[in-house]
């Protein structure tokens, strides 16, 4: 009888632990993007980006306006990981142009490289051109690499 009682208790603990640590759904993570806790927002953005959850794009784009640099980076990175053409292009361009954080600029440009559509290509190229003159070595390097990739893509399209 005691063994049966102990096994029941152990089974209940396992079931409870499984329920607590069960993976959230994409809808749960989308809801987490609206949390007041920036750590919850960052975790949600990372999960949604890794899962390439396109329906999260409007909420991720809204997070680009967060006062937290870490949240902005997580949101931009997730948008870039999802990679839907045109997603958040205007907001990413504005973020890159308006921030003083090199890390945010870097995340925005990498996201744009993965999402920019034909309508925003000229604006993206102009922004990259400005970064080529940047004093920030990381941004300058990124801009140079993206320019080279763009040139290769054009050559392969023509050839």
DSSP state of 83: -
DSSP 112-136: HHHH--GGGHHHHHHHHHHHHT-S-
35: left (phi over 0), alpha (psi -120 to 50) or beta: beta
Query: Which pLDDT does position 31 carry in this prediction?
Result: 97
Q: Which domains does the chain have, with CATH numbers?
A: 2-158 (1.25.10.10)
Query: Which pLDDT does position 17 carry in this prediction?
Result: 55
Query: Which pLDDT does position 40 carry in this prediction?
Result: 96
Taking the model in full, what pTM does it have?
A: 0.77
For the chain of 159 residues, list the mean pLDDT of each consecutive stretch of 10: 60 56 84 96 96 96 97 96 91 93 91 84 81 77 77 74
């Amino acid at each position: 009888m005691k063994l049966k009682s102990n096994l029941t208790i152990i089974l209940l603990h396992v079931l409870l632990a499984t329920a607590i640590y069960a993976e959230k759904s994409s809808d749960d993570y989308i809801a987490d993007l609206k949390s007041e806790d920036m750590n919850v927002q960052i975790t949600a953005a990372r999960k949604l980006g890794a899962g390439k959850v396109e329906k999260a794009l409007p909420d991720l784009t809204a997070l680009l306006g967060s006062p937290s640099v870490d949240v902005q980076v997580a949101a931009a990175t997730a948008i870039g990981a999802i990679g839907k053409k045109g997603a958040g292009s205007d907001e990413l361009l504005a973020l890159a142009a308006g921030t003083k954080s090199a890390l945010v600029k870097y995340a925005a440009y990498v996201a744009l490289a993965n999402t920019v559509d034909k309508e925003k290509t000229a604006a993206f190229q102009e922004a990259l051109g400005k970064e080529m003159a940047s004093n920030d070595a990381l941004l300058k390097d990124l801009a140079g690499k993206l320019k080279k990739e763009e040139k290769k893509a054009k050559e392969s399209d023509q050839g």
